[in-house]
Amino acid sequence: MKRVFISISAATAMLLSGCASDPVNLHYYLLHSPSKVVEKEQRAATAHIRFNRIALPDYLKQRGLAMQTGPATVFFSSSHVWAEPLASGLVQSLSESLWQEQHIDVIPNGVYEHLTVHDVAIHVDDLIATNNNEVVLRGHFWLYPAAAEPVMQRFDYRRELTADGFEHAVINMRELVTLLAADVAKSVSDVK
């Protein structure tokens, strides 16, 4: 009986000491930039698109930011996390870039049914900082024009990292998303 009491007391002490340790400081990141100034001038949209699908690999559906640490290894941070699901951030960032740079309006399903709307599906293979000091955004997208055959385009954007840290990597990821937005816009203008 005394042994059981000592074992339970020791287990309780270990559990309580775990609760007394310092909490992990979390750092939250957004793929879109809330501080980016939005153009206030009212302009007519040059085209309208709808994102009907954004597909991400399973490793990008986790909250922790990922970093490739070797040819076949990936590290997931437990203290550096996305503030929102990455698919949502990608849509916001693409929508912002398409409007600011190309005046292409991204509209939700069921809105403006009378307009000519091109559907876009994006499949991201990778969005990651690598052990080669670069950030990579790879995948392909399909453009489904309102009155033409679908178009598929592969993309592979890379940007050199000039500083350490997840914040620098995320800022560079935003730039790569801007490049993707430009290619989507070019595909839309090519089918007009």
**pLDDT tens by residue, 89-141:** 999 999 999 999 899 999 998 888 888 899 999 999 999 999 999 999 999 99
Residue 130 domain-assigned (yes or no): yes
Q: Does residue 16 register a pLDDT over 70?
A: no
Structural domains of the chain, count: 1
Specify the pTM.
Answer: 0.85
Residue 12 domain-assigned (yes or no): no
CATH number (domain holding residue 81): 3.40.50.10610
* In the chain, alpha helices (H): 2-20, 86-102, 166-190
Residue 8 domain-assigned (yes or no): no
What domain range includes position 45? 27-190
pLDDT for the residue numbered 4: 53
Rg (CA), the chain: 22
Residue 151 domain-assigned (yes or no): yes
5: its two tokens: 């009491």
Residue 118 domain-assigned (yes or no): yes
Largest CA distance in the chain: 84
